Amino acid sequence: MLLGPRITQFKYRDMRVVKTPGGKRVLVNLPKRETGERREIKTILSSYHCKRCSKCCNGAFSIGQTDENYELIMGLIRKRKKDFVVDCMGRGRSRTRYYDIGVPMKNNACGFLSWNGGRITHKTLIYSDGKEDDYGSFSCKIYDARASVCMAYPMQVTWMPLELEDGTRDEEGTVIINAGCPAITELLNNGIGHVTDSELVSLSREKGVHEESLLYSFPRSLQEVKDRIAEMGKKNRILVNEEGERIYPINAWEIFARPEYRGI
């Protein structure tokens, strides 16, 4: 009997990305929703709230000049230059300038992250779960005014490698749900490797979904990543299913047992 992530690996073994003549990127051979899965998605995502486990804070984040908290965040970064690596990513379609805020090699996490147990190490981040255990809890110094890309997590804009018909390779931006979040890991463990636009929106509005839950926050996250994809330009697309509905795969390429999506 298959258990945990192996269930998802088996279910999604035939999934592919097809590049249509109209330019869409279609996820084909997606598993059909099984009885009870929609309810399971709601149960899992509505039972989670941000536990500040730091899983999303061990890498870089990006910020644009139109971000609500841009001036505050960049001002703090300028005061603590040794804790950040700032690279200009260029301009979007609206000519807004974007910056990649990275982590210096001597650090292991975002410069705004602190831990009540002392120095943050790679091991600390791996074993933390946001609970009051031996690893204690983490704190973001700008949590209530963090960048919009951080607020949108676990939804994330990322690069999707493609192998095209003529044998050439390309990369495009797409939107995924990051499996680093404990709630999303639980979805994987229950055989769920993708969610749809309508599922996230409709489930978030159902009775019993608390405002502090992860599920309740998804409509705002969806809008953030859609705006970012639009700003990035024509070579960036949200994946769709064969009915044309937006699809967000869970970012666990090893679960799907292939090194890259393939355009046919």
Percent of the chain surpassing pLDDT 90 = 27
What is the helix (H) or strand (E) element at residue 130, kind and residue range?
none
Query: Does the pLDDT value for residue 93 go beyond 70?
Result: no
**38 and 67 together in one domain:** no
Structure confidence at residue 123 as a pLDDT band (50, 70, 90): low
Q: Judge whether 201 lies within some domain.
A: yes
Per-residue pLDDT averaged across 118-124, rounded?
67
Which of 107, 125, 146 is at the close of a domain?
146
| Model pTM score | 0.81
Per-residue pLDDT averaged across 23-36, rounded?
86
The whole-angstrom separation of Cα 40 and Cα 46 is 10
The four Cα atoms 164, 167, 172, 178 give a dihedral, to 10 degrees, of 90
**134 and 166 together in one domain:** no
Query: Does the pLDDT value for residue 209 go beyond 90?
Result: yes
Q: Judge whether 259 lies within some domain.
A: no
**CA geometry: angle 187, 27, 92, nearest 5 deg:** 95
**What is the pLDDT, as a whole number, of residue 77?**
94
**45 and 115 together in one domain:** no
**What is the pLDDT, as a whole number, of residue 155?**
92
Domain range enclosing 36? 5-50+153-251
The domain total for the chain is 2
The whole-angstrom separation of Cα 232 and Cα 220 is 19
Query: Does the pLDDT value for residue 129 go beyond 70?
Result: no
Structure confidence at residue 43 as a pLDDT band (50, 70, 90): very high
**132 and 165 together in one domain:** no
Q: 245 — alpha (psi -120 to 50), left (phi > 0) or beta?
A: beta
**209 and 90 together in one domain:** no
Q: Which residue has the higher pLDDT, 5 or 35?
A: 35
Q: Judge whether 207 lies within some domain.
A: yes
Q: Judge whether 169 lies within some domain.
A: yes
Q: Which residue has the higher pLDDT, 251 or 221?
A: 221
The whole-angstrom separation of Cα 261 and Cα 32 is 19
Which of 97, 119, 146 is at the close of a domain?
146
Q: Judge whether 263 lies within some domain.
A: no
Q: Which residue has the higher pLDDT, 155 or 263?
A: 155
pLDDT, one tens digit per residue, over 172-192 is 788 899 888 889 989 988 889
DSSP string, 32-96: PPPTTHHHHHHHHHHH-------TTSSS-EEEETTSTTHHHHHHHHHHTGGG-EEEEEEE-TT--
Q: Judge whether 106 lies within some domain.
A: yes
**224 and 112 together in one domain:** no
The whole-angstrom separation of Cα 219 and Cα 104 is 33
Q: Judge whether 261 lies within some domain.
A: no
**164 and 198 together in one domain:** yes
Q: Give the chain's largest Cα–Cα span.
A: 55
**What is the pLDDT, as a whole number, of residue 54?**
78
Q: How many Å from the N-terminal Cα to the C-terminal Cα in the chain? A: 33
Per-residue pLDDT averaged across 14-21, rounded?
79
**128 and 157 together in one domain:** no
Q: Judge whether 65 lies within some domain.
A: yes
**105 and 231 together in one domain:** no
Q: How many CB atoms lie within 10 A of CB 90?
A: 9
Per-residue pLDDT averaged across 32-42, rounded?
93
Per-residue pLDDT averaged across 53-78, rounded?
87
Per-residue pLDDT averaged across 225-248, rounded?
85
Query: Does the pLDDT value for residue 260 go beyond 80?
Result: no
- Between 75-79, 181-185, 232-236, the lowest mean confidence (pLDDT) is in 232-236
**140 and 165 together in one domain:** no
Which of 146, 173, 198 is at the close of a domain?
146
**75 and 131 together in one domain:** yes
